[in-house]
Structure formats: C-alpha cells, structure tokens
Chain A
Amino acid sequence: MFYRLSGVHHANYVSDSRIFKVPADRNLAVFVLLFGLAAPFIVPSLYLNSYMLPWLIWTAAALGLNLVTGWAGQLHLGYAAVMAVGAYASIHAARFGIPWEFALIIGGLASSVIGSLFAFAALRVKGLYLALTTLAMQFVMDWVLTHSPAITGGSHASLQSPTLALLGQDITSDTGYYYVAFGWCVLVTIFMLNLKRTGLGRALVAVREKDFAAAILGVNSFYYKILAFATSSFIAGVSGALLVATFFFLAAPEQFSVAVSIQVLAMVIVGGLGSIIGSYMGVALILLVPGIVNGLVSGSSQSLGMQINVETLAHIPNAVYGALIVIILLIEPLGLGKLYGNIRDYLMVWPFDQLRK
C-alpha cells in the first residue's frame, strides 16, 4: 500500500546499493529526520528533554551494542562499564581544560581501549562463556569505579560535568542539549546504515554466522572481532559522555551499573538483533513504556475513582512492562524491528497478499 515496489527500477549499481531502495522508506526517513530537527519547536520542552533526549542517546548506545551483538554475534554483558569509561574520561578531560570536541573523542578512544580488552576474552571463549566473561568485567569495572576516588570521587560521590561547549559555543539551553543528542544519534545511525552495505558489515556477519567459512574467504575473524568491540566501544564511550553532559550533568558509578548493561542488552534484543529501526523501537519500549504505563494506570484509577494502594500502583507498571517484553518476544523472537518489517512486507503487496513475497 504505502510501500510500493512497482515502478521502482534500479538501472545501475549505485542506485541498487542505496540505503533506502523503496521510495516510501526514504520518505519516511526524511519525515522522521525533519521531525527530529523541528522537535524543539513542536514538542514541549519537558517532553523534549526528559523523553526524546535520553531516547536518542540511548538509541545511539544501543546501536553500538547492536554492532557487536547483532552484527558480529558476540554477547556483551558489560556495555554500561564501557560507557562509564567514556563518560569519566571525557569529563576528566573537559575538567582538565581540553575542548569538549576532543574530550568526547578522548572518551571514545579510552572506551575503545578498555572495550578491546573485552574482545580479547571474546577471542578465547564463545556464547554463554563470553557473556559470563563480559559480566565479570562489568563487576570489575564497577569495583574499580567505586574504589578509585581519583576517578569518581569514591563510592557515594558524583562528579560534576563542566558546561558543554561545542564549536566555541556554550551549550546550556534545552534546545542545544537536544540538538547535540540528535546530531550524535543521526551520525551513529548513518554509520550503521552504511555498515549494511559495505564489506565491513558483511565481514562481521560472516564471522557471526560461520567463522570457518569466513576464514576461507580471507576474513580474519580475530581482527574483525576486535574491530567490532573497538568500534562499538567508541560509540558507547561518546554516548556515555553525552548522556552525562546533556542529561545527568553529574556522573556517578551507579548510572553505569550491571543493571544498566542488562537494560541496554534488553533494548537491543527487544528491538531486534541486527535491526537499526528495531533499536529505536527497543529503546523507546524499555525507556519510555514504564513511565507511560505508570501515567495510564494512575490516571485511569483516578478517573474511575478506584482506590489502589501505593504499593500496587508502583508494581503494576513493572508487571505490564515485563509482560509486554515477553509477549513481543513470543510473537516475534527477532523483535520489534522484525515486526515492523513484517507489516511493511505485508503492505508491499497489499491487497494482492496472495502473491509470493
């Protein structure tokens, strides 16, 4: 219906390797991009900064984890620790007087170095063993952060982030923070979209699917696993730094605890491994649904005049949110991205849905 393939003919390889081959996809992407640009003027600033901004930054972070877990197939349970490295490295660099542009890159590179250490574990072990190894490294990182006053100020302290300034401009307004987050998320998304059509992306999938077959094609799986970890860690580091600089304003170890690692992994899995639009949806579900359900439950109980005690009220959103995740993964194990894809494929031939897809 909306997505039509009829009349779309690619006459050369450049056009056949476009990111969006179906006009409807391209139009949708342009619309979303324009909405993102116009959001500060449309969306009330409360929603802009407490919902859209964290959504965008967490999406960038989730895309980074998707690179290593969805593309290269390496289960990673220590992602928040890598984000923490980037956040603390950037803030310390900025406090030291280094311009924020470079501070962010320093944060990303510091994360890359630490994240590549995780990769060395990945080269020795696979699957569940790798998951456990990365989880152990998350705990090590937690311990290091809470026990190094020089980095974090100690276990219950938090570190003030200096005022964000990019291109010589101090960024202090809500709109400014939003655009920084938006810009970073767009950059990461473009990178991931390009990954789908380049040799690097193909090599990562080859390593994930069959490493022996990858080897006989000349793909050095050792190298590509490290590259996947390093790249995803860079994205994690910058995302962590931006999260503190534009949203939390204070860095504290518990912002990057093991629970956060699992939450990011949940975002990626619920969204769909290897799906870019899925990561957007997964983050929205994990990050925003608890708040929405909470509002709905308390709102409806008030309007119905029901007396629900506070504890029940606190637990209902969690239960609904947990049930939602289970239901989604039961309906479509490949996540929300695949659900969206199914609908798109259905509409592609609608009303001739008896046609072979």
Chain B
Amino acid sequence: MTDKRETKSHADDGAILACSGIERRFGGIVAVTGVDFVIHPKEIFGLVGPNGSGKTTLTNAITGFYPPNVGTVRLAGNDITGTAPHKVAKLGVARTFQNLALFNGMSVLDNILLGRHIHMNPGVLRTALYWWAAQREEIENRKVVEEVIEFLQLESIRHEMVDGLPIGLKKRVELARALVAEPQMLILDEPMAGMNQEEKGYMSRFILDARAERGVSVLLIEHHMDVIIGICDRMLALNYGEMIASGIPREVVKDPRVIEAYVGGAHD
C-alpha cells in the first residue's frame, strides 16, 4: 500500500481550510482515513459522526496535536500539515475543546485575555517596566476583550474565577477566548454538549452572530442534529474514520448510511 494520495489542490482555490486525504493512525488503529473537505470563507461547516468516528482526531490533525500520517492540511492556501499547535494558532486557527480547557485558578477576564496572546508580545523586561513598556499593550488588548465580553454577554462574571462557573457559561467563556484571537478559522468541538434547549439556542445565535459580525469560518462538531441542520451551510458525516456523506445538511441527514450509523440498520 502506498502512502501517497492524489491531492486535489485545484479545488482549494479561495478556501479557508482544505483537507485532502487525511489519515491518522494510532498503532494499528486507523482513526481517520481518506477525509477530504473544503471550507469556504464565512461558511459554517458541520462535522458529525457517532462516538469514536474520528471527529476529534480530525480536529487534532488540523491543529497539529496529532499530525496526519497521510494527507495535507491547507489554511488559506498555505500548507500547515504537521505544524506545531502554537504555530497553527498564530496562523489564525482557534479552537475550543470537547471537555473544556479553561485555566482554573484564573478569572474569566484573564482566561479571555490569554486568547489575545498571539497579538501580544510579553517579555520579562516589559513586565518589569510595566508602566512604560506593557501598560498600553495590555489596555489595548483589554478593549478588544471587552468587545467580545459584551458580545457574548459575560459582563457580570468577568472577575469571577472560572472554576465555579456552570458548564454553559464555561463553554461561552471558551468561545470568547477563541473569538478574541480574531481567527480566520474557528473550530468548535461540541460547544453544546450537556446544554439544554435554551442554552443551545443562545449558543447557536452566538455562532451565527460571530460569523456575521466578525467574518469567521466555522468548523462545528456537534451531536445535536437540529443545530447542524439549523445553522450549518454544509456538513460532513464520518463513521469509523471514513467519510460517509457530505453536502447540504438536509440531504445528508436523509442519507441511508448516515441514518444507519446513527440509529442502526434494520435487522432482518
């Protein structure tokens, strides 16, 4: 078997994110294989699949945590395959995590300010000479953060510690932290897990507004099909690490293979 696969670079023109032939193995287990998709600017792209179908692995392959064994990832035309996560962040990819990755022991404000890290230039001397070397930068970035805090309606909790917040708010803080980085590409890994209908509604609205007001492209991983159908422009369904369907959500969810993957086939 050859590890070289044809890459479809001609289809990437103008795409924010283009993955072609992505494969990632862990030992003998093939977690993701042969995944091709393209996300266009200002598109909300859904990614669904049963548990263990490789959604998060695919995300990790894009963001550099587990570089793909085969295939390429292009961000706005530039090859970012295998780039270290902190460099991927600097290139304009922000993400949230399935099971939350806020920094405990820090306030909501400090957590969100960390999202501005790639736009700041912290250093030892600048810290020592705060009043002359760091204050202006801190204040300028604080202003950007406050815009997002207002946008996501987090004003009342900005000085609270993140440890004590309910999960719905934590997810919102994490979204805020990703948004302040002003990314081209925002990857949301199950932002609505564990939320009730009302919170889901809020979150969907925030995602739509983020695209409308800030022009981000979104890769949205979700299990809630109503959300996917409601806000995604296009979507991709994975099962056992392989693409089983892609296209417009209303059509994809009718695909017999998607139905079988989610609710099981008839045993007769």
Q: Which stretch in A56-64, A204-212, A316-324 binds the other chain?
A: A204-212
Residues A202 and B134 in contact in the complex (CB < 8 Å), given A213-B101, A213-B103, A218-B90 = no
The reply on B233 being an interface residue by CB < 8 A is no
Cβ contact within 8 Å between B142 and A17: yes
Chain B CB within 10 Å, residue with most, of A17, A190, A194: A194
Q: Which chain B residue has the least Cβ–Cβ distance from A274?
A: B105
Q: Which residues 78-114 of B have a CB within 8 angstroms of A?
A: 84-90, 94-95, 97, 101-106, 110, 113-114
Q: Answer yes or no: A203 CB below 8 A from chain B CBs.
A: yes
B68 contacts the other chain (CB 8 A):
no
Q: Is the CB of B142 within 8 A of A200?
A: no
Report yes or no: A218 in contact with B117, Cβ–Cβ below 8 A: yes
Known: A194-B134, A215-B86, A215-B89. A199 touches B63 (CB 8 A): no
Q: Judging by beta carbons under 8 Å apart, are B181 and A218 in contact?
A: yes
Identify 12 new A-B residue pairs, CB closer than 8 A, beyond the known A13-B146, A217-B181: A14-B139, A197-B138, A199-B121, A200-B124, A212-B65, A216-B94, A217-B89, A217-B115, A217-B118, A219-B86, A219-B114, A231-B124
20 A-B pairs whose Cβ atoms sit less than 8 Å apart in the complex: A17-B139, A195-B127, A198-B138, A199-B138, A200-B123, A202-B113, A205-B105, A209-B105, A209-B106, A210-B101, A212-B101, A215-B84, A215-B85, A216-B85, A216-B86, A216-B89, A217-B181, A218-B86, A218-B90, A227-B124
Partner of A206, one of B84, B94, B114, B139: B114
- B195 contacts partner chain A, Cβ-Cβ < 8 Å: no
**B136, closest chain A residue (CB):** A14
Q: State the Cβ distance, A11 to closest chain B Cβ, in Å.
A: 13
Q: Which residues of B contact A212 (CB under 8 A)?
A: 65, 85, 101
Check: B128 CB closer than 8 A to any chain A CB. yes
| Complex interface: chain A residues within 8 A of B101 (CB) | 210, 212-213, 216
- Which residues of chain A have C-beta atoms less than 8 A from B134's C-beta? 194, 198-199
Task: Name the residue in B106, B110, B128 with the highest tally of chain A Cβ atoms < 10 Å from its Cβ.
Answer: B128
Task: Summarize A's interface: helix, strand, loop or mixed.
Answer: helix
Name the distance in Å between B164's Cβ and chain A's nearest Cβ: 11
A214: B residues at CB distance < 8 A: 86, 114
**Across the interface, do B104 and A209 meet the contact criterion of CB distance under 8 Å?**
yes
Are A13 and B143 in contact, CB atoms less than 8 angstroms apart?
yes
Q: How far is the CA of A181 from the CA of B203 in the complex (A)?
A: 55
B120 to chain A, nearest CB (A): 5
B7 contacts partner chain A, Cβ-Cβ < 8 Å: no
Are A218 and B89 in touch, CB under 8 angstroms?
yes
B130 at interface by CB-CB < 8 Å: yes
- Nearest CB of A to B61, in Å: 14
Q: How large is the interface on B (under 10, 10 to 19, 20 to 34, 35 or more residues)?
A: 35 or more
A13 touches B85 (CB 8 A): no
CB distance from B127 to the nearest CB of A (A): 5
Q: In the complex, what residues of A have CB within 8 A of residue B103's CB?
A: 205-206, 209-210, 213
Closest to A227 in B: B124
Please give the distance in Å from B96's CB to the nearest CB on chain A: 9
Name the A residues within 8 Å of B201 (CB-CB). none
How many Å lie between the Cα of A210 and that of B88 in the bound state? 17
Question: Taking chain B's interface residues, is the majority helix, strand, or loop, or is none over half, making it mixed?
Answer: helix
Q: How large is the interface on A (under 10, 10 to 19, 20 to 34, 35 or more residues)?
A: 20 to 34
Across the interface, which residues of B come within 8 angstroms of A191, CB to CB? 127-128
Q: Report how far A214 CA is from B101 CA in the complex, Å.
A: 9
Q: How far is the CA of A160 from the CA of B87 in the complex (A)?
A: 50
Q: Which residue of B lies closest to A199 (CB)?
A: B122
Complex contact A200–B126 (CB within 8 A): yes
B51 at the interface (CB under 8 A from A): no
Give chain B residues whose Cβ lies under 8 Å from the Cβ of A13. 139, 142-143, 146
B177 within 8 A of A: yes
In the complex, the 7 A-B pairs of residues with the closest C-beta atoms, listed nearest first: A199-B122, A213-B101, A218-B89, A218-B118, A215-B85, A200-B122, A194-B130
State whether the Cβ of B135 lies closer than 8 Å to any Cβ in chain A: yes
A197 close to B130 (CB less than 8 A):
yes
Interface residues of A in 135-194 (CB under 8 A from B): 190-191, 194
Tell me whether A217 and B177 are in contact in the complex, defined as CB-CB below 8 angstroms, given that A13-B139, A14-B135, A199-B117 are known contacts: yes
Which residues of chain B are near A216, meaning CB under 8 Å? 63, 85-86, 88-89, 94-95, 101
Q: Is the CB–CB distance between A17 and B97 below 8 Å?
A: no
Decide yes or no whether A300 CB sits under 8 A from chain B: no
Does A201 touch B at the CB level, under 8 Å? yes
**What A residues does B122 contact at CB under 8 A?**
198-200, 202-203
Complex contact A200–B90 (CB within 8 A): no
Q: Is A342 an interface residue (CB 8 A)?
A: no
A195 to B135, CA, bound (A): 12
Q: Which B residues are in CB contact (< 8 Å) with A194?
A: 127-128, 130, 134
* C-alpha gap A210/B128 in the complex (Å): 25
Nearest-neighbor residue (CB-CB) of A201 within chain B:
B127
Minimum distance in angstroms from A70 CB to a CB of chain B: 11
